[in-house]
Amino acid sequence: MNKIGLKDLDDIALGATFLGTGGGGDPYIATLMTRKAIEQNGSVPMLPLDEVPDNALIFACGNMGAPTVAIEKIMGADQPPAAVRALEAHLGRQADLLMAFEAGGSNSMMPIYNAAILGKPIVDADGMGRAFPEMQMVTFSVYGASGSPFALASEHGDTVILDIDDDHRAEYIGRGITIRMGARAAKASYPMDGVTARRVSIPGTTSLCQAIGVNLRESREQISDPFTNLIEMLSETHYEHAKVLYSGRVTDLIRETRDGWAIGKVVISGRDDENLEIEFQNEFLAARQGNQLRAIVPDLICILDSEMAQPITTERLRYGQRVSVMAVSAPPIMRTNEALAVFGPAGFGMESTFIPCLLYTSPSPRDLSTSRMPSSA
């Protein structure tokens, strides 16, 4: 069993910002909170997914709301643990382990923070392998785990328990309550046992966040090409394919906080090429160059500072930034017919057909082998 200590947090946060594909919230404040919690309570044990006991009770935890609000409205120190405690009280049982429902941004830190405060281990896994804007857009839901009952907590000490048998409706009702809580709420959800967690989760995502962070940091320290190094590293993971789609300067940005999300588009202009336009709903959803689709969900679209390869979240985008856009293929568990129906283009109301990042020059060996989650085709 590994332990997460103070020296690990910055690397995890950096990698999580990359996997967040613009969403999940800027992890800066969450990292500061987690650092303080570990200083006071010690390192957090982290269990690999395949070592989770069958009868263990696991909660997936994080935040719900708009990232644009998070940089102005700091979460209360007691807010995330309050959601966990409320769900425990409702179920009449203590959670044995915590895990992230998404590996992206500040939500990667919340299980570690809660675990440090509450004295629990975490599971090295999540339900997205990235970030998505809606509650039901997780492999947990896709493969049969229920998000309910779940708890929401505000910074004022308010807690709400919802028990809704459809995760899409749970998102709709939970989002409405989150808006009333100031568009930012702590959440504990998807109570499941170890057998279910192993069946529906994406393994190793916290470790992967750390590995990506180490890769980017060491590239800077060694003054080597961070983009080439990162592409090579990802080729050895279940993400496999990655490439730089475009480099240029942010020349237009439309962003608004609407219905509890950060929604808009960013236009990036290069010297000679046609502009690249990326639309987002918390996360970057689709990248188009003229009439050509360059990448689309569930594959990852990541915007990074061109010089330092620092991932940029949607709320941190600014006019004039010099950026490079990377596309990364989603793991196979996220590309089945079942998964695409929930968080592929159709899940966002887009008419575009999912094209795997236009990254594949030939089928991936992993795609030719049997996936853990067989397609319904």
pLDDT-derived band at 357 (thresholds 50, 70, 90) equals low
Mean pLDDT value of segment 173-189: 95
Domain ranges within the chain, ordered by starting residue: 2-203, 226-368
pLDDT at 368: 36
Question: Per-residue pLDDT averaged across 155-182, rounded?
Answer: 96
Report the predicted TM-score, pTM, of the whole model to 2 decimal places: 0.91
pLDDT at 1: 75
For domain 2-203, which architecture applies?
3-Layer(aba) Sandwich (3.40)
Q: How far apart, in whole angstroms, are the C-alpha atoms of residue 102 and residue 142?
A: 14
Pick 226-368's CATH classification: 3.40.50.2300, 2.30.40.10, 2.170.130.10, 2.40.390.10. Answer: 2.40.390.10
Is the pLDDT score of 376 beyond 50? no
What angle (nearest 5°) sits at the alpha carbon of residue 132, between those of residues 256 and 372? 170
Take residue 147 and report the two structure tokens written for it.
């998000």
Q: Given a cut of 70, is residue 284 above it in pLDDT?
A: yes
Which tops the pLDDT comparison, 262 or 87? 87
| Residue 135 tokens, joined | 């509650």
- 31-40: Cβ within 8 A, 24+ apart: 31/106, 31/109, 33/75, 33/77, 33/109, 33/113, 34/9, 34/109, 34/112, 34/113, 34/116, 35/6, 35/9, 37/113, 37/116, 37/117, 38/4, 38/5, 38/6, 38/9, 38/112, 38/116, 39/6, 40/116
Instruction: Name the residue with higher pLDDT: 335 or 163.
Output: 163
Q: Minimal CA–CA distance to 13: which of 143, 148, 103?
A: 103
